[in-house]
Structures are given as C-alpha cells and as structure tokens.
Amino acid sequence: MELGPIWRSLSKNKAGFLLIALQIAVTMAIMINAVAIMQERARDMGRPSGLDEPNIFALSSTAFVPGMNMRALIDEDLELIRRTPGVIDAIATNSFPLRQGGSSRGFQTEPGTGKDDVGAAVYFTDEHAIETFGLMLVEGSNFAPNEVTWTEEGSDAWAGTVIVSRAFAEALFPDEEGSYVGKTMYVDQAKPVQITGVVETLQAPWKGWDGVERAMLVPQRRDFNFQRYVVRTEPGMRDVVMPQVEEALAQSNRNRIIQSMRTMDEVRYMAYLGDSAMIKMLAFIVTLLLVITGLGIVGLASFNVSRRTRQIGIRRALGATKTQVVRYFQVENFLVSALGIGVGAVLAVALNMLMVNAFSMAPMAWYIVPIAMVVLWSVGQAAVIGPARRASRISPAIATRSG
Amino acid sequence: MLRYYLKLGMLSIRANPALSALMVAAIGIGIGACMTIMTIQHVMSGNPIPGKSDSLYYVQIDSWDPNNEYNGPNELPEQLTYLDATGIDAAAGDEFRVVWSYKSSRILQPGDGADLPFEVRTRATSFRFFSMFALPFRYGASWDAAADRNREQVVVLSSALNERLFGGGNPVGESVTMNGDVYRVVGVLEPWLPVPKFYDVTNNPYEEPEEAYLPVTVAVAAEHDSAGNTNCWKPFPGGYEAFLNSECIWFQMWAELPTAADKSRFEQLLAAYVEEQKTLGRFPREMHNELSDVMEWMQDNEVVDDDVSVLLGLAFLFLVVCLLNTIGLLLAKVMRRTKDISLRRALGASKQTLFAQYVVEAGLIGIGGGVLGIALTWLGLRGIENLFAGYDFVERLVTMDWVMVLLAVGLAVVSALAAALYPTWRAANVTPASQLRIQ
C-alpha cells in the first residue's frame, strides 16, 4: 500500500482535505437527522385508522331553521343513504378518525375525584358504526338496537355501554390479561360505563395526539342541528355514490345545507399533508446536499490531479500502473471520508439529541448511522473516480519535462 | 483601483468557468434553501398589528382542575369561561378597554332565494373589538355599547361577504338573515388579513378572519355554538344555562393597557377578581394570572410551526456545507495560482493589494450567488406552495418582500466574504518569488 506517500501529500494540503472532511461531517449530520425525521413521519403516516378508507366518504348537514324535528330528519337521511344502491351502511357521528377535530373524555377505573384517568376519543353513534367504519370486532358484541339512545344538546347523560379500541383497553387496564369485555370504568368521575366490545384498531381524530390509538364508540345519537354522516360503499362504488347521495340529501330537505363532502382518502391526505410535504422537502435537501458534497470532492480531486501532474508522471515513468494511480486517489479519498464520517457520526448524534429535546422527536434508529456511512463513502468514491481516471491517463513522458 | 480589481476578478472568474460556476451555484443553492425557509419563518413570526402590539395584552387566569394542570407544568388555560369573561368585563367597566369574543358559524339565507343558503364563519364579540384591533371600515361603523347591552341584532360584514351579498355596494341599514334571525347591517370592513390571526390563535392561526361580526350578547342569548376549541374539566348538568355557568373555557379576552401603570392596575383588578371568586368556591388552584402582549402571546402559542424551526436549522447547516465547499474551491484556486501571486509579489504588489484583489473577486462570486439565491428562493417558495396546495392559507406564507430580497443578497455577500477569508489570507502570504525557482 502507498499509505506513506498519501499521508505526506495529505499533510501538504491539510486545509483542503480538512475542509472536505468537515463538509462530509456536516453533510452526514444533516443527512442522518433528515432521514430520522422522514422515517418518523413515514411511520406515522403508515398507521392504520382501522377504517375501510378506500370505500368511505363523509359529509355534513347543517339545519338552520329553528324548531326542526332533527330526530326525524336524521332517521330519514340515514334511511335515504342506506337505500342508495352501492351503499353498504351509513351512520351519523360527531367525528371520525383523521378528521383532526372531535371530542375526548377521561376514563378512570374507580369513581371519585382526583383519580388518574386515561383519555380517549369518543364517537357518538349507533349500532351501524362497526359495519360503516369497517372495524374488526375482536371481542364481545356489537350494540343491540335498543342500547342506542338519543341525547339532547347540552345533556350530560352518558351511555352505560361502549365498544373500545384495544389500545384504549390496554392503557386503562394494563394488568389485565384475559378479556376486557364486562369491565367497568367511570366517566365524569362518577358515571359507570361497561365495555361490551373491543375492536382491533380505531384511531382518535387527531393524528398528532400521543393517544391517537385510543378511541371508543358510544351508543348515543345526538339530535343537534349539525350532523356528520359517514357512508361506506361497496368496493369501487364510492365515486358513483357520492354525488347521488349529495344530490338526494340536498333535494330531500331545503332547510339545511349539505357541505364538507370528502372521501376518507382526501381526509387522510389533508391530515398528513404537513408530514408528506416535510418528507419531500427533506428528501430534496438530502439529495441536493449529496450532489454539492460530491461536486466539492470532484473539484478538490481535480485540483490535486492537476497540481500533481508531474509527480504522477514520474510515478508512471518509474513503473506504476494506471490501476495503481487510480487506487492511490481512491485510498486518499477513503481516508479523508473516514475522518469526515467519524466526526459526522458524533455531530449527527449530538444534533439528534438536541432535536429530541427541543421538538420532542423520537430518537433516531441506530442503523441509520452505518447506512449513512456507506452512502457517503460511496458518494466520495464515485466523485473521485473521474479525476482519478484522468490522473491515470497522464503520460509518463510528462516526467521528462520541466516545470 | 476598485475597477482594476473588478476587472481582475472577472478575468479570474472567466479563466476557471467550471470552478467559478460551481462556487456561485454552491452559494446560490445554500442561500436559496436558507431564504426559502427564512421567508416562511419571517411571515409566520411577523407582527400582525405593529402599532399596538405592545399595548394589547391577552388575559389568562388559572381556573383549571385542582388535580390536573391544564397542559403541563405552569401552563395556564388559554381561554376563559363565560363566567370569567363577563365577570372581568364587568369589573373592568369603563376604566379599562377589554374585549372578549369567540368563533362561531351561522347559515346565511340570501333574501331573494336566488342564491342557496351558505355557511358563514362568525365572531361574537363586543363593540370595542373593532377599535382595539384597528379594523378598517369601508362603510358604516361598529355598533355601540348600547347595542351590546340591549342585544341588538346587528352585524358587521367582511369585505368579501359584502361583495357576495350586495355586490360591494353600501348595505348599511339593509338586513341579513342567518338561521332565521334577522340582523341589521351597521358596517362593512375593508379587506383585513392579519397574519397570524393574532386575536384568536387557539384555532388555526393562519386562517382568514371571520366573515361576519355580531354582538356576543346576542350570540350567547341565541345559543350560538362555539366553532372553536372548547375545553372542560368539571362535569356539569345538562342544558345551555348550565354550560354558561360551567368551568368550560371558550372565550379569548384582550385588554388594551397603554402604560405600565395601566398594566399593573389591571393586574390588581385580576387578582381582586380571582380572590373574590375563590370566596365563592371557584378557582381551586393557586392564583396564577398572566398578561402577554401580542408578540409574547404569539410565541407562547408557538404560531411558528416546529417543522419550520427544524427546517430552518437544517437549512443553515446546509448553507454551512455550501460555504465549506466554497472555501475548499477558493483555496484550490489560490493554490493553483501561487505562481502568479508570487510573481506579482516579486514585482512589488503588497499583501494588502493582493488581499483586496481576492476579496473583490470573492465579493463578485457572492453577488452572483445572491442573485442566483433569490431566484432559487422564489422557486423554493413556489415548490412549497405546491406541496401545501391543500391548505388555502399557504399563499399568505410564501410571499417575499424587499426585506427578504435584500437579506438574501446581504447574506450571500457576507457568506462569500467569510468563505474567502482563509484562502485570501493564504494568497496574501505567498512569499515573493518562492514559486519562481523552477523557471
């Protein structure tokens, strides 16, 4: 190995090589942290809501004439929607997963004030919810129609039974091993509520909440002027059914307006718009960064080649092969990169700790570091190969010229 | 002399077009990335009401659950209950200018039936809202104190809503029907778009202001639901009356306190109010009141998204990489020209002369990078506008003003000069004739 000459040449242009090493280090720190953020966002975006999203849409109805019989209107609306060909089922609910707005309550295992509670999103709806959302009931049973009651605006009445997400049951009863069905908990510090069913997954409406997996269905219908309808259609029928339902509802009663009609795909898109944009921006930054660092390496290597033209010529004249010349530049780059990557790993971890503290991010996965090392080494080697080839083509005859 | 250096600089830049282009590109891209994010941060953290931001204070009191802090240690509830909004307002009387409000919505029924009913976003507030936040009127004026007191059904329309309903004409005195109730139009605003929407940041701080304003006394009497955040900690019996008397928070309150003396008197008023309520069995937590001026309140509420701060940090590091790159390339350039330099030194050029010459050259590269940076910033902002096309408020965040353009050029030149320092110093220190021996 020609480590000796490489070392001597490195120490002759210390500043130049240190700059490249530093550049590689900072690039690595940015890259690793950007990838850590991208990973976190992608993981969030990949969480299932529990719903049969491709076949669901939602819309709202706002009645504006005082004194309307809301219970009758809601029943008629749901009847009309469920009768529409292609519709599997429909519900009225106060909210749904990914909507970013809704209600939550605290639940505790014993009654009384000052007890610890676990928060969960509450969906006030009826026995059609499991079918409409497309939820997987893993324990217990669906609501019976006579379990579902009406509540008036402002009423504090609470249902005696609920169907909860498994994550909620696990959070409230962490030590329970067997069945959650039949368990009693308390809402508003005093009112007993019994779990009669558990669904595999049902998200809360807020994607940024750390309790997003905790939600429940409450068999209470609310006769407010504002209603949100969720409709599930047979596969492939959603886009056909949507305008029909909108038109039919709009025609059926003129004393309300139908608005906010959106597919679940659109709701999901809007919920995660910031995250997907962040992923794209970071990917763009990382790519650009690698290109710039690569170009910097190309620039420095070209400069070194032209500065050492004579020296390379002499080596060639003394019997060095073309491959050896190429290898020389590759090893040189490898060593400089190693320095940069070593410093970069430390910088990256420090920056990550800073961001975890400042922005409550999850710490990065350890394996990003070795992957980033390999990527940066490869970029360095790819960048140096052009100038190194050019160096290898320097004619041995150049050694005979002076200056 | 400067002209000579400029000429030399241009020559040198042209002598190495690839290397020079690489340097300009590196600075330009670094500046572009930084300025794109800085522009957004600049708009997000802008002062929405420059003349009055120091004299308007957001009012917070700790009415929350004795067992649980509102949102973590030392966090106060960000809104007020109905009891406290009305209670503090009554205590303030005419001595202080106090405004409280909440966000709601109504269904507007256009009169002639030609247009279908549609939803309008409303703000229920008192007559002082308009003068306190300096809302510009196109027609008419705010309602008065008597209208608030007597629950008069009056409304102030936004410019856009007036355009839609009355074609932009003067509708003062006309009536508007919302949810079956008839309101008399007393005023129309000029277009008004504070960014952020500082008077209510508990909801989306970048949404447009409401389209119609009506007396809060009317809205509460007619049980208009809040369309903003409502948080409760204490169970309450059913019914709207019980809701009004509950510990649920849904109002935002501001006080206009022009002097430090006013502020301290208002603080005393708040303390006295809370003491009085404690004797009535409310406010179970230790007394903690806070007044935050507009910019403090914007910061408390983190109206600048965390993602923007993260991106800004990464963009600056990115600029650092670009500068390291430029330093390396400039250094390479200087090293390649050591022969030139030592010849010039031998012929009598002083260190200062060479230093000045290379600084001018770096400055040229900096200006080039700045101009490219502005173009890239513009492109970057368009890209972000595209990425966030689903948010209707994004266009308000991606506008570049002159401050940002000048900042971009300034930052580019300063960065280029900073990058040039070391290579230039190396150039100036080449010993005369040291490189001439071989010849």
Predicted confidence (pLDDT) per residue in B114-126, tens digit: 678 999 999 999 9
Rg of chain A (C-alpha set): 32
Q: How many CB atoms lie within 10 A of CB B199?
A: 22
* Cβ atoms A231, A58 nearer than 8 A: yes
Whether residue B433 is contained in a domain is answered as: no
Q: How far is CA A305 from CA A383, A388, A389, B251, in A?
A: 13, 7, 10, 71
- Both B284 and B407 in one domain: the answer is no
Surface of B (180-199) touching A: CB under 8 A: 180
Say which of B19, B66, B239 has its CB closest to residue A299: B19
Burial of A145 (0-12, 13-18, 19+ CB in 10 A): exposed
Tokens describing residue B388: 């966030």
Q: Provide the pLDDT for residue A1.
A: 53
* CA A243 centroid distance within chain: 31
Is B289 in the same domain as B312? Answer: no
Residues B279 and B336 in one domain: no
- Cβ within 8 Å, pair B387-A306: no
Residue B318: which domain range? 2-45+305-428
Same domain, B278 and B316: no
**Cα distance between residue B355 and residue B36, in whole Å:** 33
Of B117, B238, B331, the CB nearest to A154: B238
Cα separation, B398 vs B379, whole angstroms: 11
Please give the pLDDT value at position B150.
96
Which of B277, B300, B323 is the last residue in one of the domains? B300
At B359 the pLDDT is 85
Cross-chain Cβ contact A154/B239 below 8 Å: yes
Last residue in a domain, options B300, B316, B337? B300
Tell which residue, B292, B254, B231, has the closest CA to residue B99.
B254
In chain A, what is the greatest distance between 2 CA atoms, to the nearest angstrom?
105
Same domain, B227 and B364: no
- Which 3 state secondary structure label does DSSP give B302? coil
Q: Is A80 exposed, middle or buried (0-12, 13-18, 19+ CB in 10 A)?
A: middle
B309 with B411, same domain?
A: yes
Cβ–Cβ < 8 Å for A127, A148: yes
Residue B358, domain member (yes or no): yes
B288 lies in the same domain as B352: no
Q: pLDDT by residue (tens digit) across B18-33?
A: 888 888 898 899 999 9
Contact B318 A30 (CB under 8 A): yes
Q: Which residue among B329, B335, B388 places its CB closest to the CB of A277?
A: B388
Interface A:B, Cβ pairs < 8 A: 139
**Domain limits, chain A:** 3-46+273-400, 65-254
Is residue A225 within 8 Å of A70, Cβ to Cβ?
Answer: yes
Longest CA pairwise span in chain B (Å): 101
- B265 pLDDT above the threshold of 70: yes
Residue B10 confidence (pLDDT): 80
Q: Give the span between the Cα atoms of B331 and A381, in whole angstroms.
A: 22
From chain B residues 309-328, the ones with a CB under 8 A of any chain A CB are: 309-311, 314-315, 317-318, 320-322, 324-325, 327-328
Question: Closest to A296 (Cβ–Cβ): which among B239, B314, B328?
Answer: B328
- 3-state SS, B363-387, equals HHHHHHHHHHHHHHHHHHHHHHHHH
Is residue A100 left, alpha or beta, with left meaning phi > 0 and alpha meaning psi from -120 to 50? left
| Phi, psi dihedrals of residue A219, rounded to the nearest 5° | -80, 60
Give the residue from chain A lying closest to B337, CA to CA. A307
Question: C-alpha B158: how far from its chain's center?
Answer: 22
B residues 399-438 closer than 8 Å to A (CB): 422, 426, 438
Q: Please say if the pLDDT value at position B439 is more than 50.
A: no
Closest by Cβ to B237, choosing from A156, A270, A359: A156
Residue B436 has pLDDT above 70, yes or no: no
- Chain B residues whose CB is inside 8 A of the A153 CB are 240
Distance CA A130, CA A90 (A): 10
Q: Which residues of A touch B19 (CB under 8 A)?
A: 299
Distance CA A390, CA A301 (A): 10
In this structure, chain A runs to a length of: 403
pLDDT band at B437 (very low <50, low <70, confident <90, very high): low
- For residue B228, being part of any structural domain is answered with yes
* Distance, CA of B156 to CA of B186 (rounded, Å): 6
Q: What mean pLDDT comes out for the span B155-163?
A: 96
Tell me: do B247 and B331 sit in the same domain.
Answer: no
Report residue B346 CA to chain centroid gap.
Answer: 58
B237 CA: distance to closest CA in chain A (Å) = 6
Q: How many domains does chain B have?
A: 2
Interface confidence: ipTM more than 0.95: no
Mean pLDDT per 10-residue run, chain A (403 residues)?
A: 73 83 94 94 96 97 90 96 97 95 91 88 96 97 96 84 97 91 93 96 93 96 93 97 95 91 95 93 93 88 82 86 90 92 95 89 90 93 92 82 58
Query: Region B68-78: what's the mean pLDDT?
Result: 83
Residues B163 and B261 occupy one common structural domain: yes
* B125, B101 contact by CB (below 8 A): yes
Together in a domain, B315 and B282 = no
Q: Please give the C-alpha separations between residue B160 and each of B7, B168, B184, B192, B209, in angstroms, as whole numbers.
A: 56, 8, 18, 10, 11
Which residues of chain B does A188 touch, with a Cβ-Cβ cutoff of 8 Å? 235
User: What is the rounded average pLDDT of the residues B218-238?
Assistant: 88
CA distance A293 to chain B (A): 7
**Cα B341 to Cα B337: distance, rounded to the nearest angstrom:** 6
Of the residues A303, A311, A401, A402, the best mutation for testing chain B's interface (the one with the most B CB atoms within 10 Å of its CB) is A303
Q: How far apart are CA B374 and CA B407, in angstroms?
A: 10
Average pLDDT of chain B is: 89
Closest chain A C-alpha to B65 CA, distance in angstroms: 9
Shortest Cα–Cα distance, A280 to chain B (Å): 8
